[in-house]
Structure 1
């Protein structure tokens, strides 16, 4: 009987500690409702490419209603600009056979209101560099949305910008995203 009372006491005490641990859960971006795209500017025209072949995963703190960790991986050859020749040229320029994906991971995520700042690492063209992405978070009807945009300088990652008719695109790839996580 003493052991039973002692065991119950331990369980009750541990229950108090356990209830103070924030509830965290893995969340996965819904690729059907999420978007990931890039844009490039060329002296003669600008164009965009959209990918539906990406993975976004995070750790969501249910108590604070915030992401604590995020990781995103996108297949370079999955972008569709509506022009297969252009897509092939971009894939060739970025060495997609050698470097098939781009990833971003962050464990340092901070919030000011609905503004989200994720400091992490970007892996592009086989090079890993510290990188910061800023976005906006919205929570609506059980769906966590994180959206934003950022620029990646191709030269900094060892990529020569694609060219057309002897003229190169801008060095900056403009990336925009809108991830939807069902909670």
Structure 2
């Protein structure tokens, strides 16, 4: 066979092999969160009061299927020190009990997402305080002003993540902490 014919055959075969991959990938978009509009809030209860700490320093990306209008995967990271409860002393104490210097980030990576374009169920790994636990939660997804807004909440156990429950007046906070999220992603980003 002539060298030119060999290259033509190889190019044709390689083109056929990559067409399905490219065709499937062209309808996926990678969307990044808008830090100015996205929040993650923890709600911690004590017999005397409820504490809410909010982070606005969230880094998140989702893979979005443009054809089905659904999220296919998500990854979220927030610095532990970014949560603000409105009380610097309390926040400093929370950084101690969560050992934020050793475990500086809270991170979630999805493993499975099911549902439709309005309601999804997400399962994945939540890494916090050096412990990884599987969590599953429901979320709503809506499009508004060229943004996709994803909201939901789920509980975590401080003891499951080996965090010593802080005490106030010798009374410990509840073990269950509720995590609320309000994530905003721009739909105007380029497809991958």
Unaligned runs of 5+ residues in structure 1 are: none
Alignment of 1:20-169 (within 5 A): 21=24, 23-112=27-116, 114-169=118-173
Moved over 6 A (4+): none
Q: CA deviation at 1:107?
A: 3.3
Equivalent residues of 1:101, 1:124 under 8 A apart: yes
Equivalent residues of 1:68, 1:107 under 8 A apart: no
Provide Cα deviations, 1:56-113, integer angstroms capped at 9, x if missing partner: 1111111111111100011111111110000011111111111111111003101146
Cα distance change on mapping 1:161 and 1:139 into 2, 3 Å = same
Q: CA deviation at 1:166?
A: 0.7
TM-score (norm 2): 0.84
Distance 2:109 2:78 in 1: 12
Equivalent residues of 2:77, 2:105 under 8 A apart: yes
Q: CA deviation at 1:165?
A: 1.3
SS at match of 1:74: strand
SS at match of 1:72: strand
Distance 1:20 1:85 in 2: 54
Report the aligned-residue RMSD.
2.1
Distance 2:61 2:148 in 1: 12
Alignment coverage as a number of residue pairs:
176
Distance 1:33 1:125 in 2: 26
Cα distance change on mapping 1:56 and 1:19 into 2, 3 Å = closer
Cα distance change on mapping 1:162 and 1:21 into 2, 3 Å = same
TM-score (norm 1): 0.88
